[in-house]
Chains A and B, each alone.
Chain A
Amino acid sequence: MERTTMIEALAKIVGKEDVMASEMEIQLYGYDASLNRGRPDCIVMPASTEEVSKVVKFARANGIPVVARGAGTNLSGGSAPTQGGIALLFTRMNRILEIDVENQRVVVEPGAITLDIKGAIGKYGYLYHPDPSSEKATTIAGNLGENAGGAHCFKYGCTTNHVLGAEVVLYDGEVIEVGGKSLDNPGFDLPGLMVGSEGTLGMVTKLTLRMMPKTEAVKTMLAIYDTIADGANTVSDIVKAGMIPTTLEMMDNLTIKAVEAAYHVGFPEDAASILLIELDGLKDGMERLTEQVVEICKKNKVREVRVAQNEAEREKIWAGRKGAFGAVGRLRPNYLVNDPTVPRTRLPEALAQVVEIGKKYNLPIANVFHAGDGNLHPLILFDERDKDELDRVHKAAFEIMKICAEMGGTISGEHGIGVEKLKGMPLIFSERDIAAMRNVKKAFDPENVYNPGKLLPAEKAA
């Protein structure tokens, strides 16, 4: 279809001012926070479910791909329109529709910002637990698309554990409701399938989220180590003691230095690793649990443990963690971050191998990781103008995925496959596993309207 005809037709659906197609806009909405680039034919900003449905019907009728976009923060190329088509930008549909305190649910539009939702329900004394580091910018449907995690998953799980229902526009424009405010609706767990589907199964136009009453007490601790292994062993010992902290987060020396240079939060620049631990629950017994954690840290040769005495100190500790990617980003022009996951007990081994891979390819790698979940975040630093270096980056990234898969882990814990990790899928899935997933895709989207070329490796010609 002629691009101008397409733009005119779409303008009739959503209004002229809500279709963008200038060269600058096409470049702007062509990439995400990964290294992948695409070029949409145009960018459409619907304001309602009805408009989404009409746009989708039009796209399907004319064989045009539809790629959902939120804030573009995702890290695997999932929202880069690599096969052109319509970038469906949900930032106008950003309302919090209903805070249903009585039923402990909040109903939101897909473009609502994660942190805004938390702020709105926080006023009533409730929490929405998933907390991706970029939550200040991320849209909630983007979180759904990638099953975003964060630093509190060890106790509270990821996005999938907190999305209870959604309104979905199917490939043919039909609007259905999956899940809802109530639990255990009969039928396949379609909300469970939608979460993490990277915009390939349907367009989510409304979400129903769980909100939970705030806990009475929180204790945040920062433990500083002279080796990475001591920090990792502390994590294992805390788990062995039967505790389920909300948070067990670590960072290595390169990250510590970068964070300190950027935010001056008081991290010692010569520390080999820092472990952030947070406990929650009733206030009774909290001091005893804290002491128990400190003892475990000491047993593992901790240099120093800082226990936050008030909310300001807690926020300072967290600012260092939440800003880690940004701080590391200042070190070199680009970074590529992976998110493989290994069984927690194999973390020290996985990290040691990441260091070796960095040496082998002569690349600096900073490590921030969700230690409780065994979820690594090696940030490989480079300059994309150096083609040889870029080539080495991709090789190193693949090798990291490979060693994690071999350790019984997975290639993506929370950033998704997108296009970046398509090559890694055979590391963990057989052709039969992938064939079953293709059938899931075909059941939802038989004509491949939604985000073609993502999540599943291309089908080999028969």
Chain B
Amino acid sequence: MSNNEKLASKLREIVGEANVITDPEKLKALAVDGLTPQAMVSPGTMEETSKVVAWACAEKLAVIPMGGGTKMALGGIPKKFDILLSTKRMNRYNDYDIANLTVGVESGVSLAEIQAKLAAEGRGYFLPLDPQHTQGATVGGIVATNDTGSKRFLYGSHRDYILGIKAVMPNGDIVVAGGKAVKNVAGYDMTKMMIGSMGALGIICEITFRITPRPDAEATLLFPFNGLKEAAGFLKKLLHSKYYPASLELMNGRMATDLNATAAMKAKYVAAVALDGIEEWVARLKTDLSDMGRQEGASDVIVLTADAHRDFWIAYRDIAGSLAKTHPNLISLKANFALSKVPEMVGALEAGLQEAGLEGALFCRAGNGILYAELPLGDDLGSKAAVVVALIGKLNAEAVKNGGNLVVERAPKAVKEKVNVWGQTRSDVVVVRRLKEKLDPSGILNPGRYVGGV
């Protein structure tokens, strides 16, 4: 039996014939940065996942986990890739406790599914998470990549909402971190360690989230501006106010055009502010923020409610996914920086794009200090690769200067090979590496794709 056959037969033994794919054509479509796995396996339970991983560990086979497959572009080029492990069949609700505002779900459940289910409960509930890829993304993938959305301004992010994680460690051990208590200081907070760890330390199989009552009222205000200074100034004023809207977003004209949200938005910049709360608060915010926006130089105020409000944010969250469909060479960048540096970072990005002769859709979480850029490069990468590599270098330096870093979330392999996709190495990489060495001494989980090349 060849190694390849041995692997397939072992995997079939663990998860059953129907849940292993070895057809080379099908596997080719699942390649990560050009590397094709020997097999794709879809365990149905945490126990099956544990068996697969324990065996892979013993055989020193590299495993890459995948949920909905929406963010496989993230991370460094894998050092090795033997088994693609899909979490999608782990899709049960194990501890669905609405009265306590907690739900424990398996990682393969899609966020869209859980939101629909929670919305239908009693007065209506939701997970206050609004990351990219509204349809395909699973909660496991969202948490493993720490993908967050604009409402984190009001509600916080995964680290504020996840109470416990069950994971399969690189040696196959099933490990429970945290629990369902909202306050928990028993042992190390390994739950936090797993969030955003991209499966480098373990495969997330079950997550216990805190859920939130749906707001009584919701709306969106759009403010077109002609100048960056005015748009950023308005959002800054709002950030330091007592108003606490749900989102504080700034986008450039290209993003507004790509969203095709409303004809009235033909402006160089648009501030998008989502409002969540009781009726009285949302009514007050509409009035006060409209006044404030006009005072700060907005040429108009557009109010979106009901379907228009909902559709706007779905399109907003799906922008990278929809651009990627038509632009195979799409570059997605994410910069983080100190809150006050919005104009500096947006300005630097725009200048860099202009100099490189490129265009892009920019959107910025002005209340969190995070900037996303989606750069469609066209079909022919060719000479543009070098230009993009230079641009990434410049932007990285700018982000570091402003107290943050730059992550290349998506790029063709030719670009990935020439940049550090996780940005400038920080002093804490020493602990990142030691944690990886201790918890995954054989380096079988996602080798090469995480920070520090681990």
Q: Which residues of A come within 8 Å of B, CB atoms?
A: 100-105, 146-147, 149, 153-154, 157-158, 160-161, 170, 174-178, 180-190, 192-193, 195-197, 201, 213-216, 236, 239-244, 281-282, 284-285, 288-289, 341-345, 370, 373-375, 408-417, 421, 424-425, 428-430, 432-437, 439-444, 455-456
Contacts and interface: CB of A to CB of B under 8 A. Distances in A.
A161 B190 contact: no
B448 interface: no
Most buried by B among A192, A243, A281: A192
8 nearest CB pairs, A to B = A192-B192, A285-B280, A242-B213, A413-B183, A182-B404, A341-B181, A284-B280, A102-B340
B173 A440 contact: no
Interface residues of B, number: 86
B42 to A, nearest CB: 24
A187 B156 contact: no
Interface stretch (B5-13, B85-93, B236-244, B374-382): B236-244
Contact of A213 (B240, B337, B404): B240
A253 to B, nearest CB: 24
A215 B244 contact: yes
B423 interface: yes
A282 B284 contact: yes
Contact of A437 (B102, B190, B284): B190
Interface string B428-451: 111110110111000000000001
B186 A412 contact: yes
B279 interface: yes
A234 to B, nearest CB: 14
Interface in B186-234: 186-193, 195-197, 201, 212-214, 216
B339 A180 contact: no
Interface string B148-178: 1000000011011000000001000111110
B438 A185 contact: no
B179 interface: yes
Contacts of A433: 175-177, 187
Most buried by B among A100, A102, A215, A288: A102
Given A282-B243, A374-B181, 4 more contacts: A196-B189, A284-B281, A412-B185, A413-B181
B435 A188 contact: yes
Contacts of B175: 432-433, 436
B407 interface: yes
A303 to B, nearest CB: 26
A178 B428 contact: yes
Contact of B193 (A103, A170, A188): A188
B98 to A, nearest CB: 9
Nearest to B404: A182
A146 B185 contact: yes
A187 B179 contact: no
Interface in B269-309: 277-281, 283-285
A245 to B, nearest CB: 12
Given A153-B182, A187-B428, A188-B432, A443 B437 contact: yes
B159 A436 contact: no
Contact of A425 (B184, B186, B432): B186
B36 interface: no
A98 B89 CA distance: 50
A157 B160 contact: yes
B407 to A, nearest CB: 6
B156 A161 contact: yes
Given A183-B336, A408-B180, A428-B179, A440 B159 contact: no
Interface of B: 97, 99-102, 122-123, 146, 148, 156-157, 159-160, 169, 173-177, 179-193, 195-197, 201, 212-214, 216, 239-244, 277-281, 283-285, 334, 336-340, 368-370, 402-405, 407, 422-423, 426-432, 434-435, 437-439, 451-452
25 contacts: A101-B240, A104-B339, A105-B338, A153-B183, A177-B426, A182-B369, A182-B405, A186-B422, A186-B423, A188-B201, A189-B193, A213-B241, A241-B123, A242-B213, A244-B213, A282-B277, A288-B280, A375-B181, A410-B181, A413-B184, A429-B187, A432-B169, A433-B177, A436-B177, A440-B188
Most buried by B among A154, A197, A242: A242
Contacts of A186: 405, 407, 422-423, 426, 451
Given A161-B156, A183-B336, A177 B242 contact: no
Given A412-B186, A425-B186, A444-B431, A188 B179 contact: no
A345 B434 CA distance: 41
Given A160-B192, A193-B192, A184 B430 contact: no
Contact of B451 (A146, A180, A187, A408): A187
Contact of B434 (A154, A236, A341, A443): A443
Contact of B428 (A177, A197, A434): A177
A374 B429 CA distance: 37
Nearest to B123: A242
Contact of A190 (B99, B102, B404, B428): B428
Contacts of A432: 169, 173-175
Nearest to B182: A373
A213 B238 CA distance: 10
Contacts of B369: 103, 182-183
A187 B437 contact: no
B242 A284 contact: no
A217 to B, nearest CB: 9
B188 A421 contact: no
B189 to A, nearest CB: 5
B186 A411 contact: yes
A182 B451 contact: no
Contact of B278 (A104, A161, A176, A285): A285
Contacts of B431: 170, 176, 178, 188, 190, 443-444
Nearest to A179: B428
B407 A189 contact: no
A42 B380 CA distance: 69
A21 B176 CA distance: 43
B427 A176 contact: yes
Given A102-B339, A282-B284, A176 B186 contact: no
Nearest to A175: B427
A103 B340 contact: yes
A249 to B, nearest CB: 13
Contact of A197 (B188, B201, B429): B188
Given A281-B281, A285-B281, A343-B97, A184 B438 contact: no
A344 B159 contact: no
B432 A187 contact: yes
A214 B195 CA distance: 29
A366 B101 CA distance: 28
Nearest to A375: B183
A341 B102 CA distance: 14
B197 A455 contact: no
A214 to B, nearest CB: 7
A216 B285 CA distance: 13
A177 B427 contact: yes
Nearest to A456: B187
A157 B158 CA distance: 13
Nearest to B184: A410
Contacts of A196: 185, 188-189
